[in-house]
């Protein structure tokens, strides 16, 4: 018993000290390319800078389901009373950062790392209405937009109104995935409420929550129901991309990061373009978080610091994936040549992004919109 | 030692695994289904029925229909494997039918999505072969896609069980009936099938249960509403973190399967009595 | 044998029956291999989109991605196969006595017991796994092969127990009684008479448990990862995200142990059946 105790104290002491050879476990939600990114790019880079340590990545699957599985993993360890958790760094969707902070699973590490100062965007402090400042560092910002086939859509709709008019003339040519098959469809619905809901979009995004707002949306959902009857429903985020790539629909909402991955992997014709309609569609960051009971907390902080350094954000996130950086753009831009930087804005210009790149509504509105859709617009 | 006690001892290890590793962890969920807003009650079930009655009916109809087709196809295939007279055709069929069984459901969803779509590989092949024109091509990514996916994946499963049971039957009665001039269809339906009915029903029930619990197929193939219960459960959890309604839906799904299983259990009980 | 002598003379003339047979087999082949062709094509596709019927460019760059040294695909595959084999062994060890008892011995609440085995398949697992993971963290089973095997066993048992019960129930009681009457003990009777007769069913259930284990990813993630990585997790990530190439390659990899296991089981079965015929 005594030796066991000694062994544990020793292990604990080792855990606090910068361990000489640790295995850093990074659990990430998102597509397989997130796992590949950590395994093939970030991991080797980190191991070179901090020799003797190894990085291993575990993927939990795309979409909210992936982040939900990370939340549940934390919940299981919290309930079991584990002293050392088996996750050092996790990458989760914005929506799950708030609940994780509220449940007390996370470490407020941002003040400890240098790159923490390089983030000023509001969504690094608030996540769907919950204060998360200090607990998260954005890995990248993603955005939903409409992807369209220029051969079939000569003048892409610049706003939701134009889209409605266009879809009326071209039945079944617009496709989206409802709300159960992934967040690109959800995002389209949120944009619809921003456009036609009669609520102030800023209030939906920043709060406060008032029951009365919910009543205002009835008309918007009725028109959405009618609109949906004239649209093609697709199976999931990937389903929208799939139908676009095989020419069955001409336009549909997609995640910009997924869209570029599909093009890079040869599953999407290079001609397909993006447009961000007014008043805008939501986007969200993916956040790096560190559990409060991570076994290698020091190393985890170093890992996130490296991952959010301007150089890695430039080379890894922008150049490699064509994703919007997580830290402020002005720190990243100098790291890149002009061509790589401008490629980010091929279809959607920075001004468009600033004006029409919205966030998701705060959690209570978010849930209310989804439930209202289920009750009123699903047919 | 009484037979009863011996029986219990033999069942106990397997039962213990299920109880400790599934039923105990499940208990928390089951209780959760009856708790809404911190109070015990049926609110979660009311919400589940209010929002998802259509989906529940859809699920039962789709899965029952698929089970029926699987039963018919597997009987036909296993029957030919047992009674077929051309050894070459039997060998080809035996080699052919099993492949889909080895493809995981999530890949079944993927290959059928890209196969059955309007501009998918199937229509492209048919158009290429001149069998249909591009104008006639239509997609099947709706309830038909789900049924096709289920039948594609589960028919080999039931057939494998059924063919095994048929192969171990006594050939004597079959040969006798054959000599009396009975057609092979009659032999299959009147002599062979009654003897393997239990195996067929067990295979179909296991298929039914499996199909009720598959998430990837409805998610990847069926875009339309209504959808299957599993998709609703995943949605409740992932979108709202709402375990209450999710567990209520889980219990409803369990109830449906229990009803189906009960039919079989009652029948075997009667046989044993 | 009769079939052979029968077909020898008819080989010379055209067998008209091949017409419907050929059409039916052809349709079946299309239904089965059409989707599979899709899988094979995607596995070697570099670029493929509308309006092209076939891939624009073939290659193996995605194979390089799957097999990259840090991707651990081979380690995951090995883990998956070990877990599947162990899950089959444990399931059968539990299911054979249970199935025999359920089929042959008078048990109270027999129907209920059979239903209980069905629950892990019938109830959606996600809400349950959190609790299972919590339990395993407490007793130190998380991140071990044993833990993953146990989770897969709970799922496989419904196949193993139900099929074993049906297989034992189908055996004629008189055969056992005959063995007992010529002096064989109960264990010997079970080993020499009952078990061999139930073997085809048991082996079929072994195949299903094996496949079930190779398909499972939710439990594998909660209980296995990050220490025990399983191939279906990669398959799920790629498949759910629409990464057709990686998902197809992974599915092909998983096909090797599945088909291999079935061939082994079949060889074993055939020898067994033949030996019984010769006796």
Tens digits of per-residue pLDDT, C115-124? Answer: 899 888 888 7
Residue C3 lies in a domain: no
Q: How confident is the model at residue A346 (pLDDT cuts 50, 70, 90)?
A: confident
Domain span holding position B89 = 41-272
Contacts of A68 (CB under 8 A, 6+ apart): A96, B237, B238, B241
How do strand A281-289 and strand A357-358 relate by DSSP bridges?
parallel
Q: Do the Cβ atoms of A348 and A145 come closer than 8 Å? A: yes
For C168, the token pair is 């034992």
The per-residue pLDDT for C149 is 95
Beta strands in A256-347 (DSSP E): 273-275, 281-289, 324-325
Determine contact: C128 vs chain B, CB below 8 A. yes
CB contact under 8 A, A64 and B227: no
Number of independent structural domains in chain C: 2
Quote the CA–CA distance of B120 and A247 in Å, as a whole number: 10
Q: How confident is the model at residue B195 (pLDDT cuts 50, 70, 90)?
A: confident
Residue B10 lies in a domain: no
Tens digits of per-residue pLDDT, B62-80? Answer: 999 999 999 999 999 999 9
Residue B21 lies in a domain: no
Cβ under 8 Å to B: A residues 59-98: 63-65, 68
Task: Select the residue of A40, A73, A265 nearest C245 (Cβ to Cβ).
Answer: A265
Residue B88 lies in a domain: yes
Strand partners, A357: A281
What is the enclosing helix (H) or strand (E) of B97?
A: none
Q: Do the Cβ atoms of B100 and B152 come closer than 8 Å? A: yes
Task: Label residues A310-334 b or e (16+ Cβ within 10 Å = b).
Answer: bebbbbbbbbbbbbbbbbbbebbbe
Quote the CA–CA distance of C156 and A86 in Å, as a whole number: 28
Phi/psi for B66 (5° steps) reads -60, -40
**Backbone region of residue C143 per phi and psi (left: phi > 0; alpha: psi in -120 to 50; beta: other values):** left
Q: How far is CA C228 from CA A56, B198, C127, C233, in A?
A: 12, 39, 22, 11
Contacts of A241 (CB under 8 A, 6+ apart): A147, A254, A258, A259, A262, A267, A268, C242
Residue B36 lies in a domain: no
Q: Do the Cβ atoms of A78 and C134 come closer than 8 Å? A: no
Rounded to an integer, the average pLDDT of B20-38 is: 84
Rounded to an integer, the average pLDDT of B248-266 is: 88
Q: Which residue has the higher pLDDT, B135 or C271?
A: B135
Q: Would the ipTM clear 0.85, i.e. be above it?
A: yes
Q: Looking at CA atoms only, how far is residue A179 from chain B in angstroms?
A: 9
Q: Does residue B29 have a pLDDT over 80?
A: no
The per-residue pLDDT for A10 is 43
CATH number at residue C82: 1.10.3720.10
The per-residue pLDDT for B270 is 63
Distance of CA A176 to the CA centre of its chain: 19
The per-residue pLDDT for A126 is 92
- How is chain B split among helix, strand and coil, in percent rounded to 5? 80, 0, 20
- Claim to verify: residue C52 and residue C154 sit in the same structural domain: no
Q: Do the Cβ atoms of C17 and B86 come closer than 8 Å? A: yes
- Claim to verify: residue C152 and residue C254 sit in the same structural domain: yes
Contacts of B112 (CB under 8 A, 6+ apart): B145, B148, B149, B152, B221, C35
Q: How confident is the model at residue B147 (pLDDT cuts 50, 70, 90)?
A: very high
Would you give the DSSP letter of residue A250? Answer: S
Task: Select the residue of A61, A246, A267 nearest C237 (Cβ to Cβ).
Answer: A61
The per-residue pLDDT for B7 is 87
- Claim to verify: residue C191 and residue C220 sit in the same structural domain: yes
Residue B32 lies in a domain: no
Nearest partner of A249 among B128, B146, B227, C50, judged by Cα: C50
Determine contact: B93 vs chain C, CB below 8 A. yes
Question: Quick one: what percent of chain B has pLDDT higher than 70?
Answer: 97
Phi/psi for A81 (5° steps) reads 70, 30
- Claim to verify: residue C20 and residue C116 sit in the same structural domain: no
The per-residue pLDDT for A220 is 94
Domain span holding position C48 = 15-59
Cβ under 8 Å to C: B residues 228-267: 230, 233-234, 237, 243, 246-247, 249-251, 253-254, 257-258, 261-262, 265-266
Q: Where are the domains of chain A?
A: 2-141+285-343, 142-283+347-377
pTM of the model: 0.88
What is the enclosing helix (H) or strand (E) of B185?
A: helix B184-186
Q: Does residue B178 have a pLDDT over 90?
A: no
According to CATH, the superfamily of the domain at A2-141+285-343 is Periplasmic binding protein-like II (3.40.190.10)
Quote the CA–CA distance of B236 and A371 in Å, as a whole number: 10
- Range in A336-340, B16-20, B139-143, C131-135 the model is least confident about: B139-143
The per-residue pLDDT for C13 is 56
Residue C67 lies in a domain: no
Residue C9 lies in a domain: no
Residues of C in contact with B104 (CB under 8 A): 214-215, 232, 235, 251, 254
Quote the CA–CA distance of A6 and C39 in Å, as a whole number: 55
- Claim to verify: residue C83 and residue C32 sit in the same structural domain: no
- Claim to verify: residue C178 and residue C255 sit in the same structural domain: yes
Instruction: Please give chain C's pLDDT, 279 residues, in tens.
Output: 344 444 444 455 567 778 888 899 999 999 999 999 989 999 999 998 878 888 988 999 999 888 888 878 888 999 999 999 999 999 999 999 999 999 888 787 888 888 899 888 888 777 788 888 888 998 888 889 999 999 999 999 999 999 999 888 888 888 888 888 888 888 898 888 888 888 888 888 899 999 999 988 888 888 888 888 888 888 888 888 888 899 999 999 998 998 899 888 877 766 555 444 333
Task: Select the residue of B51, B223, B232 nearest A234 (Cβ to Cβ).
Answer: B223
| All chains having 3 or more CB pairs closer than 8 angstroms to chain C | A, B
Residue B17 lies in a domain: no
- Claim to verify: residue C19 and residue C127 sit in the same structural domain: no
The per-residue pLDDT for C278 is 31
CB contact under 8 A, B11 and C113: yes
- Claim to verify: residue C32 and residue C128 sit in the same structural domain: no
Q: Integer distance in angstroms from the first to the last C-alpha of chain A?
A: 64
Q: Which CATH architecture is the domain A142-283+347-377 placed in?
A: 3-Layer(aba) Sandwich (3.40)
Q: Would the CATH topology of A2-141+285-343 be identical to that of A142-283+347-377?
A: yes
- Claim to verify: residue C137 and residue C199 sit in the same structural domain: yes
Residues of C in contact with B249 (CB under 8 A): 124
Q: Does residue B124 have a pLDDT over 90?
A: no
- Range in A225-234, A241-250, A251-260, C228-237 the model is least confident about: C228-237
Q: Does residue A199 have a pLDDT over 50?
A: yes
Q: Which residue has the higher pLDDT, A77 or C268?
A: A77
CB contact under 8 A, A246 and C50: yes
CATH number at residue B118: 1.10.3720.10
């Amino acid at each position: 018993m005594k030796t066991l105790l000694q062994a544990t104290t020793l292990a604990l002491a080792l855990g606090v000290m910068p361990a000489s050879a640790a295995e850093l476990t990074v659990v990430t939600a998102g597509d397989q390319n997130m796992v590949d990114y950590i395994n093939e790019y970030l991991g080797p880079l980190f191991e070179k800078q901090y020799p003797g340590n190894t990085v291993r990545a575990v993927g939990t699957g795309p979409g909210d389901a992936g982040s939900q599985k990370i939340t549940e993993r934390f919940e299981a360890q919290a309930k079991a009373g584990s002293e050392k958790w088996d996750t050092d760094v996790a990458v989760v969707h914005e929506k799950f950062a708030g609940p994780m902070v509220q449940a007390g699973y996370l470490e407020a590490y941002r003040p400890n790392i240098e790159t923490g100062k390089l983030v000023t965007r509001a969504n690094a402090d608030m996540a769907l209405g919950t204060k998360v400042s200090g607990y998260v560092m954005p890995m990248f910002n993603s955005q939903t937009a409409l992807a369209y086939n220029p051969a079939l859509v000569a003048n892409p709709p610049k706003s939701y109104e134009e889209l409605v008019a266009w879809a009326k003339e071209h039945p079944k040519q617009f496709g989206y995935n409802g709300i159960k098959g992934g967040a690109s469809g959800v995002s389209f619905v949120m944009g619809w409420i921003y456009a036609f809901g009669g609520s102030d979009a800023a209030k939906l995004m920043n709060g406060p929550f008032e029951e009365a707002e919910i009543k205002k949306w009835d008309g918007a959902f009725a028109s959405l129901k009618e609109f949906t009857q004239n649209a093609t429903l697709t199976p999931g985020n990937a389903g929208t991309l799939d139908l676009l790539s095989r020419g069955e629909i001409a336009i549909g909402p997609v995640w910009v990061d997924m869209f570029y991955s599909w093009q890079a992997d040869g599953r999407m014709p290079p001609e397909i373009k993006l447009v961000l309609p007014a008043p805008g569609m939501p986007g969200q960051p993916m956040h790096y978080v560190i559990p409060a009971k991570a076994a290698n907390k020091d190393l985890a902080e170093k890992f996130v610091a490296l991952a959010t350094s301007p150089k890695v954000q430039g080379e890894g996130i922008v150049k490699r994936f064509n994703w919007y950086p997580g830290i402020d753009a002005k720190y990243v831009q100098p790291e890149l040549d002009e061509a790589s930087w401008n490629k980010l804005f091929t279809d959607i210009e920075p001004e468009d992004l600033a004006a029409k790149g919205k966030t998701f509504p705060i959690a209570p509105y978010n849930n209310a919109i989804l439930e209202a859709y289920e009750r009123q617009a699903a047919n | 030692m009484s037979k009863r006690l011996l029986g219990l001892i033999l069942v106990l290890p397997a039962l213990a695994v299920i109880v400790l590793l599934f039923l105990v962890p499940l208990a928390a969920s089951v209780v959760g289904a009856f708790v809404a807003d911190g109070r015990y009650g049926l609110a979660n079930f009311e919400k589940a029925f209010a929002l998802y009655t259509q989906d529940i009916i859809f699920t039962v109809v789709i899965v029952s229909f698929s089970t029926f087709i699987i039963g018919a196809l597997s009987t036909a295939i296993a029957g030919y494997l047992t009674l077929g007279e051309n050894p070459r055709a039997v060998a080809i069929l035996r080699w052919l039918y099993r492949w889909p069984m080895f493809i995981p459901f999530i890949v079944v969803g993927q290959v059928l999505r890209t196969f059955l779509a309007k501009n998918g590989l199937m229509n492209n092949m048919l158009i290429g072969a001149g069998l249909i024109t591009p104008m006639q091509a239509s997609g099947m990514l709706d309830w038909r896609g789900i049924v096709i996916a289920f039948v594609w994946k589960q028919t080999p499963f039931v057939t494998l069980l059924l063919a095994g049971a048929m192969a171990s039957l006594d050939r004597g009665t079959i040969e006798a009936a054959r000599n009396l001039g009975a057609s092979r269809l009659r032999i299959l339906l009147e002599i062979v099938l009654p003897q393997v009915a239990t195996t067929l029903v067990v295979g179909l029930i296991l298929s039914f249960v499996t199909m009720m619990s598959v998430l990837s197929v409805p998610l990847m193939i069926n875009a339309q509403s209504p959808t299957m219960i599993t998709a609703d459960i995943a949605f409740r959890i992932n979108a709202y973190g709402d375990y209450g309604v999710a567990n209520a839906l889980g219990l409803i799904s369990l109830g449906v399967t229990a009803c189906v299983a009960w039919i079989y259990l009652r029948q075997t009980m009667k046989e044993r009595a | 044998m009769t079939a052979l002598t029968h077909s020898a003379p008819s080989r010379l003339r055209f067998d008209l029956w091949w017409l419907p047979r050929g059409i039916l087999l052809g349709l079946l082949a299309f239904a089965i291999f059409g989707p599979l062709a899709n899988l094979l094509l995607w596995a070697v596709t570099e670029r493929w989109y509308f309006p092209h019927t076939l891939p624009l460019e073939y290659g193996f760059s995605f194979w390089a991605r799957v097999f990259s040294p840090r991707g651990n695909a081979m380690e995951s595959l090995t883990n998956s196969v070990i877990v599947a084999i162990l899950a089959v062994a444990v399931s059968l060890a539990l299911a054979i006595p249970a199935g025999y008892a359920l089929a042959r011995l008078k048990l109270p609440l027999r129907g209920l017991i059979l239903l209980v085995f069905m629950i892990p398949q019938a109830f959606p697992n996600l809400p349950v796994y959190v609790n299972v993971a919590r339990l395993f963290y407490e007793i130190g089973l998380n991140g071990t092969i044993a833990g993953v095997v146990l989770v897969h066993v709970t799922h496989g048992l419904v196949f193993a127990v139900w099929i074993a019960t049906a297989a034992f129930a189908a055996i004629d009681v008189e055969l056992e009684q005959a063995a007992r009457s010529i002096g064989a003990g109960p264990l010997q009777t079970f080993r020499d008479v009952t078990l061999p007769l139930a073997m085809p069913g048991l082996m079929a259930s072994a195949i299903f448990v094996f496949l079930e284990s190779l398909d499972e990813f939710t439990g594998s993630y909660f209980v296995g990862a990050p220490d025990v990585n399983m191939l279906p997790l990669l398959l799920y990530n790629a498949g759910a995200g629409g990464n057709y190439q990686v998902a197809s390659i992974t599915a092909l990899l998983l096909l090797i142990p599945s088909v291999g296991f079935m061939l082994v089981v079949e060889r074993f079965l055939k020898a067994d059946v033949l030996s019984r015929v010769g006796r």
